[in-house]
Amino acid sequence: MEIVRPGSGCSPVRPRQGRAARRLAAVVAAAVVGALLVTWTPGPAVAGASAFDEARAAFAAGRVAEAAAKMERHLRAAPNDPLGLLWLGVIRLHLRQGPEALRLLARSATLRATPDAYFWMGAAYAAMSHNREAYQALAKAAQLAPASDVGARARMWMRRLRVTSVRIASTYENPEEYYRIIRLFNPTLSRPTQVAIVHSLLHYSYKYRIDPRFVAALIVVESGFDVHARSPAGAYGLGQLMPATWQSLGIDPADPVGNIYGAVRWLRGLFDRFGEERYDLVLAAYNAGRGAVARHGGVPPFDETRWYVLNVLGLFRQFRGET
């Protein structure tokens, strides 16, 4: 997350009654059908393969069934093309055909072990609620491309998969609920550090009128409760504060209390600007900046930002007992 300016300070979001429990597959399916897929471009077109190019163009235009038919025609002529198999697998996943998508993606990975192939294998497994296999495939994608956007999205989704059973629906002000999440992600933290994190998370969330479950979901996705997490861009700590932010606030980003204070202050300013219920725009601005949200009139069309918003919102809803 790349904060560039400090914020200022949401009426408390009261816990809602949990809806009928739905599996993580529903969240994953929504993500797969969303804008992430229509902007996905895993590689250049195969030279001279007109059916392949036509399939990609149809998919980008939202004509998914046509895209599937044209990609199948391409694969009849080139049955061992790993990129064609990868594309058809993603198209089948878009059509909610999980088992067939998984077969195609696994074959693509066998022919050419690319991060994209393993990433979408993880998506296919997750869509079928095979979370263990999804985690393993995403871990392989992250291993193959540790510094790429695909690797970053894979690690983000892996953190999301680790907390699929956690709910904080009716006891969201109970510190023990947050200790449980911290221990899940970073069991090596000392007890005093855990206490500092939980107490500051609840204190500043209350002070700046933000649901602490939202702040906890953001920290899970940003850093996995790694106090010393650092991004290549220089973001640091639990909330991944950028230098301009922590310097303007006069805080030490390695101090968990100061880091949470800075993150919550910035969130408060974003809620004031975009509205108390506009979690999507607040998260997009936290990730990509307020200017990017303003320029695009909503969540920017960046894969990383859209994936970030989906993951934090999905986790927040889960914590509230809505998924």
Q: Which residues are catalytic?
A: 222
Residue 279, CA distances (Å) to 276, 310, 318 in order: 7, 10, 14
Please determine, for residue 191, whether its predicted confidence score (pLDDT) is greater than 70. yes
Look at residue 159 in the predicted model and tell me its pLDDT.
76
The tokens for 33 are 């059908």
> Crossing angle of helices 212-223/191-207, nearest 10°?
130
Label residue 79 by pLDDT band (50, 70, 90): very high
Weakest-pLDDT range from 71-85, 147-161, 300-314: 147-161
Q: What is the pLDDT of residue 283?
A: 96
Task: Please state the rounded mean pLDDT for residues 267-284.
Answer: 95
Q: How many CB atoms lie within 10 A of CB 19?
A: 11
For residue 262, what pLDDT band results from cuts at 50, 70 and 90? very high
Higher-pLDDT residue of 249, 26: 249
Q: Which amino acid, residue 12?
A: P
Q: Over the chain, what is the mean pLDDT? A: 82
Kindly state the tokens that stand for 108.
């693509």
Q: What is the mean pLDDT of residues 281-303?
A: 91
**pLDDT digits 0-9 by tens, 117-163:** 999 999 888 888 788 899 999 999 999 988 887 887 788 778 777 77
DSSP letter assigned to residue 117:
H
Average pLDDT (265-287) is: 95
Question: Alpha-carbon distance 263 to 100, whole Å?
Answer: 42
Residue 286 three-state SS: helix
What pTM does this model have? 0.67
Structure letter (DSSP) for residue 12 = -
Give CA torsion, residues 13, 240, 124, 39, to 10 deg. 100
Q: In whole angstroms, what is the distance from residue 284 CA to residue 153 CA?
A: 15
Q: Quickly state the pLDDT bin for 233 (edges 50, 70, 90).
A: confident
Residues with Cβ < 8 Å from 239, sequence gap 6 or more?
Answer: 1, 218, 219, 222, 223, 259, 260, 262, 263, 266
Per cent of the chain over pLDDT 70 is: 82
Beta bridge partners of 230: 236
DSSP for 209-260, please give it: T--HHHHHHHHHHHHTT-TT-B-TT--BTTTTB-HHHHHHHT--TTSHHHHH
Q: Give per-residue pLDDT as tens, 13-57.
A: 333 333 333 333 444 444 443 434 434 545 544 444 489 999 988
Return the sign of the alpha-carbon dihedral for residues 223, 225, 227, 228. Answer: negative
99 burial level (CB within 10 Å; 0-12, 13-18, 19+): exposed
Q: Is the pLDDT of residue 206 over 50?
A: yes
What integer is the mean pLDDT of 59-88?
Answer: 92
Domains of the chain: 24-161 (1.25.40.10), 175-319 (1.10.530.10)
* Cα 150 to Cα 213: distance, rounded to the nearest angstrom: 27
Q: Specify the range with the lowest mean pLDDT, choosing from 192-196, 208-212, 229-233.
A: 229-233
Greater pLDDT, 234 or 295 = 295
Give the residue-averaged pLDDT of 65-91.
94
| Residues whose CB is less than 8 angstroms from the CB of residue 129 and which lie 6 or more positions away in sequence, other chains included | 23, 24, 25
The 10 Å Cβ neighbour count of residue 33 is 15
